[in-house]
Amino acid sequence: MEVCYQLPVLPLDRPVPQHVLSRRGAISFSSSSALFGCPNPRQLSQRRGAISYDSSDQTALYIRMLGSCVIFKQLSTRDVRVRSRAGFETERRGSHPYIDFRIFHSNSEIEVSVSARNVRRLLSFQRYLRSSRFFRGITVPNSSNILDDDYNGQAKCMLEKVGNWNFDIFLFDRLTNVMVQEDYHSQNPYHNAVHAADVTQAMHCYLKEPKLSKSLTPWDVLLSLIAAATHDLDHPGVNQPFLIKTNHYLATLYKNTSVLENHHWRSAVGLLRESGLFAHMSLENRQLMESQIGDLILATDISQQNEYLSMFRSHLDRGDLCLENANHRHFILQMALKCADICNPCRTWELSKQWSEKVTEEFFHQGDIEKKYHLGVSPLCDRQTETIANIQIGFMTYLVEPLFGEWARFSNTRLSQTMLGHLGLNKASWKGVQREQSGSGDDVDPTFEEMDSDILPQEPRLS
């Protein structure tokens, strides 16, 4: 069965746009392209809530919330511009950065990636079947929810199990072509749309936990899922120190503070404003939504880990968390998103190992670029001195175990124990790999120990 969250009832200052559609718990926004037999994008750009398109572009964008999985799709884009309204300026890709991130990938890599994506994503089976029927002259039902057809068959069956912790997001990606517009870079081995979908699925699992499910409002749930789906929007595949030492315009814009997280937040706001999905809300409520989504996304800054964890631990020690209090609920949602963001070591070994390989590949790719341009190799990014096993053991020891230990204190459920169980088994597995590589099982990547103590939490305390 599909999981439906009721949207918050808010005062309307204008009619609900026609492109906001509802069916069986699914909410679809569509400014569709001619691929689906819809009006030309040039015509759509004249309508309220439409996107500003490059005149030569053909674009289809929609937002779908189904089974608590928030999925944003876009078919080919060249120039999507923000129509800024009240509030701060939003950030989107195409802002002319000082560094051209295309240098991270050879031309052949880009060509292969784009070519494969055109076949795999744009011509998924359902779309191919529909378009082939059209060209053969077979009548295609004219449904306003035409995009729902992508979720028939195996993908629909998978969504019935979206609340299971062993949900295989990699298989789901192959079945559904999960994307969050073009603002998730498919060339990134780790920080891509699949990671965003994985974090969203984890967040859904946490929202179902007893302590949260009986206390959260529809507004809380909506913000949490949107924040999870967009928390790494337009991630360039490099970390903050890289942006700072290369004088990237984002580092200057955000004064070297939570650079990526601020950019993800502003990009998310830009996406929401472009979609017009919440155009029926009052300006005050839209601004509140943007602000609270920002609070959630900014909490994922790993450099603030110790601050959030200390506050979480203090609340738990005092036993004063009250989920009837909106501020306390919001804080718990911040902690939940932090857990979802780094939950890979708490998945089954088969899934966790894939994530470990992908994030390390991204680290090493950055290190290769730093070597090539004589920038000084960042910690964890030197493929000549680092190993996946060492990196993962350090990551689990200093960041994951303390966070999930405290989460288990807050929500001591079967899911929490399952996550800690997987974490322990995965750490043991990586130690086994480490022993095979070095002949010793006691090595822990010194990089984590040498990091600023302000960003390293204390050891976990379970009660």
| Residue 138, pLDDT score | 58
Pair of tokens at residue 172: 């789901």
Contacts of 409 (CB under 8 A, 6+ apart): 316, 461, 462, 463
Q: Which two tokens stand for residue 402?
A: 């303390």
Q: What is the pLDDT of residue 147?
A: 38
Cα 308–Cα 314–Cα 317 angle in degrees, nearest 5: 140
C-alpha–C-alpha distance, residues 309 and 315, integer Å: 10
Would you list which residues are annotated within the binding site for AMP?
Answer: 191-195, 232, 341, 392
333 belongs to a structural domain: yes
Residues 271 and 397 in one domain: no
Spatial CA neighbour of 293 closest among 250, 321, 264, 322:
264
Tokens of residue 53, six digits: 């398109």
The CATH number for 250's domain is 1.10.1300.10
pTM: 0.69
- 108, part of any domain: no
Please indicate, yes or no, whether residues 201 and 316 belong to a single structural domain of this protein: yes
Residues 416 and 429 in one domain: yes
458 assigned to some structural domain? no
pLDDT of residue 137: 59
Give domain status of residue 68, yes or no: no
Find how far residue 104's CA is from the centre of its chain. 21
The verdict on 334 and 355 lying in the same domain is no
The pLDDT value given to residue 447 = 58
Query: Does some domain include residue 444?
Result: no
Domain shared by 273 and 412, yes or no: no
What is the predicted pLDDT for the residue at 448?
60
Pair 230, 318 in one domain: yes
Determine, yes or no, domain membership for 235: yes
Regarding whether 299 and 172 lie in a shared domain, the answer is: yes
Within 8 A by CB and 6+ apart from 343, the residues are: 199, 202, 404, 419
Residue numbers annotated as active site:
191
Q: What is the 3-state secondary structure (H, E, C) of 180-237?
A: CCCCCCCCCCCCCHHHHHHHHHHHHHHHCCHHHHCCCCHHHHHHHHHHHHHCCCCCCC
Helix (H) or strand (E) run with residue 262 in it: helix 259-275
CA distance 187 to 113: 7
360: in domain: yes
Beta strands 26-29 and 20-23 are antiparallel
Each residue's pLDDT tens digit, 69-110: 343 333 233 333 333 344 556 665 444 333 444 444 444 444
At residue 275, the pLDDT reads 81
Mean pLDDT by 10 residues, the chain (463 residues): 40 40 33 30 32 31 33 33 46 45 46 40 38 52 42 72 88 68 83 95 97 96 96 95 94 96 94 87 96 98 97 98 97 98 98 98 97 96 97 98 98 97 98 87 56 42 38
Shared domain for 385 and 332, answered yes or no, is no
CA distance 418 to 420: 5
Count: domains in the chain: 2
Residues 361, 323, single domain; the answer is no
Domain assignment of residue 402, given as a range: 343-435
